[in-house]
Amino acid sequence: MLQESVEYLQRLSWNAPLTLALASAAVGSVVTLAWISARDARERRRQQRDTALEVALSLESYARTCRIVMHRAVWAAAEPVGPISREASKGVSIPAFAYPDKLQWHVLSRRVISELREFPATVHAAREYVEAFREFGEPIDLCGQVEYECAKAAILALALARATRRRHGAARWKPGAKDSAMERELSDFIATAEEKRTASLERRTESAPGRRADAQPFQQPLSA
């Protein structure tokens, strides 16, 4: 049976209608599959850009909120020491963060998803630290701690947003006039605050020679 089929195909000419039909069908199938594959790839890239843009916008919005809280912390710290100062500091806290609902996470790579989903947990840890600090610290110290942690959370959010836009071809962030220097201002604030913290720690260490050098308080729950 196989030999008969081979002999039959050998007798067919490439000009025969059946041969042309088979070849045409094969070419059509290849073209159709290629078109479907290209269409799916375009759709996936579009979904990636849209998801990346939505993620970046939420991170950038959070950074702006953190900067507002920093201003509130400065105003609360300026209140005279007393009940008014404690009342003003009650409304000063690191803002919570959550990504928008129904994000299409599946279109992003696992590495990107892992990096992005670590951020809410990092913010939560900083919030827990500040709330514990609130219970025992003075209002002015609490406000300074909130201001510092908000600055670090904001600059980390901006860095994640920028990387997310770049990796998935989303449009670059074009901040308005109020936000144009935000990242530089945050970086300068963090550098100055850390210099002050280092100097303060050195002064306390010098004033207490019996204190163990390695018994230092945990000062930076949120990595910059």
171: confidence class by pLDDT, cuts 50, 70, 90: confident
Q: What angle do CA 33, 35, 37 make, to 5 degrees?
A: 70
Percentage of the chain beyond pLDDT 90 is: 25
Q: Residue 48 has what pLDDT? A: 82
17-29 pLDDT, tens digit per residue, is 655 565 566 556 6
Q: Residue 152 has what pLDDT? A: 94
Helices first, then strands: H and E counts in the chain: 6, 0
69-101 pLDDT, tens digit per residue, is 998 888 887 776 655 556 667 778 899 999 998
Q: Residue 155 has what pLDDT? A: 94
Q: Rounded to whole angstroms, how far apart are CA atoms 200 and 216?
A: 12
pLDDT at 64 over 70: yes
Which carries the bigger pLDDT value, residue 8 or residue 197?
A: 197
Q: Model pTM?
A: 0.71
Q: Rounded to whole angstroms, how far apart are CA atoms 176 and 173?
A: 10
pLDDT at 13 over 60: no
Q: Which residues contact 146 (CB under 8 A, 6 or more apart)?
A: 69, 70, 73, 92, 93, 94, 130
Most confident residue range from 28-37, 60-69, 73-82: 60-69
pLDDT at 224 over 50: no
113-156 pLDDT, tens digit per residue, is 888 999 999 999 999 988 887 777 777 888 888 999 999 999 99
- Between the alpha carbon of residue 149 and those of residues 96, 121, 202, the distances in Å are 12, 14, 21
Q: Rounded to whole angstroms, how far apart are CA atoms 151 and 188?
A: 10
The pair of structure tokens assigned to 111 is 């590495």
50: confidence class by pLDDT, cuts 50, 70, 90: confident
Query: How many CA atoms does the CB half-sphere of 134 hold within 13 Å?
Result: 19
In this structure, of 43-47, 92-96, 166-170, 191-195, the range with the lowest mean pLDDT score is: 43-47
**CA-based Rg of the chain, rounded to a whole angstrom?**
30
pLDDT at 166 over 80: yes
